[in-house]
Every structure is written in structure tokens, then in C-alpha cells.
Amino acid sequence: MSIAAAFAADKEAPFKAAPASSYAHHQTNGDVTIGVDAYASGEKIKAAFGKLDPYQQGVLPVLVVVQNDGKETIRLDRLKVEYVGPSGTRVIATPPKDVRYTRGPDRPTLGNNGPLGKLRTKKNPLDAWEIEGRGFAAQMLPAGQSAAGFFYFQIGLETGATIYISGMSEAKSGKDLFYFEVPLQ
């Protein structure tokens, strides 16, 4: 039985982000390229999250890939990522460790075990390792490297929305880099 499980695990390719410039929605400022991709439906969600579909739970995952083609290391520890709707609505990304709390608890139900019954509660689908494990976690980005991960927004995908990214700076000099404003559609 364990052999069958091992073969099944081999069939599933691990999730890996493509280079930033290969995404339909990307922007280059200087030597830094950022690609974004919203995961609202389709096979992309299965590839990244398996059976879990965060969008069906009210959370929009957006993959952000940062590629540093410059000669200096970039600090990402103050990275600020916002979803900006077509009407100007701004939504700040929910930290991956807090996504599990975006959905309220379900009411327990009574079963038919004994005179008082048995309490049964459903597991929170957003309390899965894929959410935090695939979240953007890079603090520094060395020259010639790229970093990728998901940012999570409590909003539906709207036509004309953009992702606004700021807060990057050169590690050595502290010089701020330009902001990025990448359309989602």
C-alpha cells in the first residue's frame, strides 16, 4: 500500500513558479521584474493548493514573482502588497498565518451517539499547510535570483484590478526602489 502512495506522490509535480517575465501580467523597473497571477479558478489552483480552493472560501490568492537581475541585493522585509479595485478600493494582503482566521467558525452539530449526542465540528479548510507554506516569505533577494509566493486578499477578482507593490530597497545603500503597479487582467 505504501508503494502505491509513493507512486501517486510522484505523479503530482511540486508547485514551482515560472520566471517573472513569463507571466502575462508583469512589469520591469530598472533591473527588477515582477510577475503576478491571480488564482481564481481552474487547474492552476489544483497545481498550487491541491484539493483546497481558497477562492471558494472567500480568499483570492495572487502569486507574486520577484526577479532581481541587478548587481545589488534587494530587501523585501518591508514589502507592501495591495489589491486595488477598478473603483479605487484598496485591500491589504492578509498574512498567510492569519488566513485560517478569515472564515468564521461553523456551529457544532449534534449526532445520535448517546442521550446527549456527540458534538461534531467541521475542519476549517483554510487551516491547511498549503496556505502558509506557499505564502511569500523572502526577506532578502540576492543579485541574479528570484523569489515567489502567494499573497492573500479577502476580495473577489474584479476586471480592471491591479496589484500595487512597494517597500523594496537596496540592501547595501537603503535606496528605495520604484513601486510596481501590475494589472491582473
CATH at 162: 2.60.40.1230
pLDDT tens profile 107-154: 555 555 555 555 555 677 788 889 999 999 999 999 999 999 999 999
Asked whether residue 156 is domain-assigned, the answer is yes
Whole-number pLDDT of residue 11: 47
What is the rounded distance in angstroms from the CA atom of residue 100 to the CA atom of residue 129? 10
The answer to whether residue 12 scores a pLDDT higher than 70 is no
Whole-number pLDDT of residue 127: 83
Asked whether residue 161 is domain-assigned, the answer is yes
**Mean pLDDT of the region 46-59:** 90
Give the count of domains, the chain: 1
Name residues whose C-beta falls within 8 Å of residue 164's C-beta, 6 or more positions apart in sequence: 81, 82, 83, 84, 90, 179, 180, 181
Whole-number pLDDT of residue 30: 92
Asked whether residue 78 is domain-assigned, the answer is yes
Asked whether residue 63 is domain-assigned, the answer is yes
Asked whether residue 120 is domain-assigned, the answer is no
Question: Does 99 or 4 have the greater pLDDT score?
Answer: 99
Per-position b or e across 158-181, b if 16+ CB within 10 A of its CB? eeebbbebeebbebeeeeebeebe
pTM greater than 0.85 (yes/no): no
**Mean pLDDT of the region 58-85:** 96
Whole-number pLDDT of residue 9: 43
Whole-number pLDDT of residue 101: 85
What is the rounded distance in angstroms from the CA atom of residue 122 to the CA atom of residue 71? 50
Asked whether residue 94 is domain-assigned, the answer is yes
Whole-number pLDDT of residue 162: 97
pLDDT tens profile 74-120: 999 999 999 999 999 999 999 999 998 876 555 555 555 555 555 55
Whole-number pLDDT of residue 55: 92
